[in-house]
Amino acid sequence: MVALGSQILLSTYVVAAAHRPVIPDAPNVLIILTDDQGFSDLGFYGNPSLETPNLNALARDSVRLEDFLAAPTCSPTRAALMTGQHEFKVGITHTISGRSLLKPDVPTLPEHFQAAGYRTAIFGKWHLGETYPSRPQDRGFDEVFIHLGGGIGQTPDYWGNNYFDPHIQHYGKWNATKGYCTAVFSRAAWNWIDQPSPQPWLAYLSLNTPHTPLQIDDKLAQKYLDKGLPESQARFYAMIDDREVGELLKKLEDKGLSDNTIVLFMGDNGSPKDGRCR
């Protein structure tokens, strides 16, 4: 596995592979993108309070690509990841007022993977357009299981949605789910990955946490409150709980997929809390 990398590296690999028949044992690719998590919000970078044991273990076994830039807001970084180009070149300058709509004529990461014989899927946050031709199903994803807008409960999303038992859109239809949002997305990703298929796959697990609102089980936040952190910091850290990531990586290992799966973990635009916020 390779993790903690750059969108430029991955896009270069895909362009090289595009329009070629799938070679035997072509690697699967799992991209895990978190929302508003920065360098300071990881235990292995020296955060004295945050507990991220599964990400720490992944980092120890991985190549860390630290010399690359992310945009300051959500949609621009996601546009760069999906296209391998600067976000301004593909029409994305911000997250609101029509400035988050990906240009329709720009080739995308999943389209390149499809051309190379992969099946493709997105789970979680898209934030590059909710209407044709900007939806993920219009831009190369075979399977689409997402919330709308920039976060669960925002204006384009299901009315009254929150992080617990959210309604998630699956090809234009709302599906009621059970559980915390990250578990819902991770479970859906694994169910799709685990489908019998001769094709290699690209799975884009785009988690919406720890982006506000700070909705999390009080019991998970309590361990950080017990460390003396203020409530907002405690809830923010509790939303970075990496249990689902660890379980997903364990399932890949148990299924014998880990040796032939590239795993890329990254945050989108840095942290709103740098560990010193009160």
Report the CATH number that the domain containing residue 224 is assigned in CATH: 3.40.720.10
> What does pTM read for this prediction?
0.89
Query: Does 275 fall in a domain?
Result: no
- Name the H helices within 95-139: 109-115
Per-residue confidence at 92, pLDDT binned at 50, 70, 90?
A: confident
Query: Does 158 fall in a domain?
Result: yes
Query: Does 1 fall in a domain?
Result: no
What is the spatial distance between Cα 104 and Cα 132, in angstroms, rounded to a whole number? 9
Is the distance from CB of 125 to CB of 150 less than 8 angstroms? yes
What is the spatial distance between Cα 84 and Cα 90, in angstroms, rounded to a whole number? 10
Query: Does 272 fall in a domain?
Result: no
> Residues 156-170: what's their mean pLDDT?
96
Q: Which residue has the higher pLDDT, 224 or 15?
A: 224
Report pLDDT for 19: 47
Report pLDDT for 10: 42
Structural domain that includes position 24: 7-267
Per-residue confidence at 20, pLDDT binned at 50, 70, 90?
A: low
Note every long-range contact of 151-160, with CB atoms under 8 Å and residues 24 or more positions apart, other chains counting.
Answer: 151/35, 151/125, 151/208, 151/211, 151/212, 151/213, 152/181, 152/208, 153/213, 156/130
Query: Does 69 fall in a domain?
Result: yes
Query: Does 278 fall in a domain?
Result: no
Query: Does 2 fall in a domain?
Result: no
Candidates 64, 61, 55; CA nearest to 4 is 64
> Residues 35-50: what's their mean pLDDT?
89
Q: Which residue has the higher pLDDT, 12 or 263?
A: 263
Structure tokens at 177: 């789910």
Q: How many domains does the chain have?
A: 1
- Please give the backbone phi and psi of residue 28, each rounded to the nearest 5 degrees, phi first: -75, 160
Among 17-21, 168-172, 204-208, name the most confident range: 204-208
DSSP string for residues in 53-102 = HHHHHHHHTS----S----SSHHHHHHHHHHSS-GGGGT-S-SSTTTTPP
Per-residue confidence at 9, pLDDT binned at 50, 70, 90?
A: very low
Query: Which residues are known to be catalytic?
Result: 74, 127
Report pLDDT for 165: 98
Query: Does 274 fall in a domain?
Result: no
- Of 66-75, 127-136, 182-191, the one with minimum mean pLDDT is 66-75
> Residues 56-72: what's their mean pLDDT?
84
What is the spatial distance between Cα 171 and Cα 168, in angstroms, rounded to a whole number? 10
pLDDT at 1 over 80: no
Residues 6+ away with beta carbon under 8 Å from 223: 51, 238
Report pLDDT for 191: 97
> Residues 97-124: what's their mean pLDDT?
92
Residues 6+ away with beta carbon under 8 Å from 173: none
The CB density around residue 200, as the number of other CB atoms within 10 Å, is 19
SS3 of residue 31 by DSSP = strand
pLDDT single digits (tens) 196-253: 999 999 999 999 999 999 999 999 999 999 999 999 999 999 999 799 999 999 999 9
pLDDT at 72 over 60: yes
> Residues 133-142: what's their mean pLDDT?
95
> Residues 59-71: what's their mean pLDDT?
83
pLDDT at 23 over 80: no
